[in-house]
């Protein structure tokens, strides 16, 4: 802590000590500078940035695809995968694919999606209700805290 010093004097002190004059906060009045090794300073900043990035949880969107004529056993396997994704903290996109004339019986696919919704009512909240987009019906589930 030297106090307020002219720029030339600060540069001279940095040169004498063999270090760099680094501006820490330029918006302050007067600007705050430190005499230190700039390479080490950059390294420390990068380390802090990486540490903050590690602590962040990235929520992924996982997709589970079904067909309207899905068998009960296949549905339980798909539900097990949905449960695993939700427990990991990821959102799940449940898509019901219609082929050929199955599109004329959308109520079957909607019924299956509603059954999935009821099964995961306590574990997840429905972000997007089942909605038909082209030849597939999509519903998005997100985990509750």
Coil vs helix vs strand at 65: strand
pLDDT at residue 85 in the model: 93
pLDDT average, residue stretch 33-60: 89
pLDDT digits (tens, 9 = 90+) for 34-46: 999 999 999 999 9
Q: What is the full DSSP assignment across 66-118?
A: E-TT--HHHHHHHHHHHHHHHHTT-EEEEEEE--GGGGGGHHHHHHHHHHHHH
Residue with tokens 């056993």: 73
pLDDT digits (tens, 9 = 90+) for 10-25: 899 999 999 999 888 8
pTM, rounded to two decimals: 0.61
Per-residue pLDDT band for 142 (boundaries 50, 70, 90) equals: very high
User: Average pLDDT, whole number, for the chain?
Assistant: 91
Q: Would you state the CATH architecture of domain 61-143?
A: 2-Layer Sandwich (3.30)
Domain residue ranges in the chain: 7-54, 61-143
What is the Cα–Cα distance from 79 to 85, expressed in whole angstroms? 10
7-54 belongs to which homologous superfamily?
Translation initiation factor 3 (IF-3), N-terminal domain (3.10.20.80)
pLDDT at residue 24 in the model: 86
pLDDT digits (tens, 9 = 90+) for 117-129: 999 999 999 998 9
pLDDT at residue 3 in the model: 83
């Amino acid at each position: 802590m030297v106090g307020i010093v002219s720029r030339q004097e600060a540069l001279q002190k940095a040169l004498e000590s063999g270090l760099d004059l680094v501006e820490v906060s330029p918006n302050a009045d007067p600007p705050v500078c430190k005499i230190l090794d700039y390479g080490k300073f950059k390294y420390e900043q990068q380390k802090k940035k990486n540490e903050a990035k590690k602590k962040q949880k990235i929520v992924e969107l996982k997709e589970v695809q079904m067909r309207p004529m899905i068998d009960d056993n296949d549905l339980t396997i798909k539900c097990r995968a949905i449960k695993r994704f939700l427990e990991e903290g990821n959102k799940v996109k449940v898509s019901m694919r219609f082929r050929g004339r199955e599109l004329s019986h959308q109520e079957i696919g909607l019924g299956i999606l509603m059954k999935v919704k009821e099964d995961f009512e306590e574990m997840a909240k429905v972000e997007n209700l089942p909605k038909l987009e082209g030849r597939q019906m999509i519903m998005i589930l997100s985990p509750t805290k």
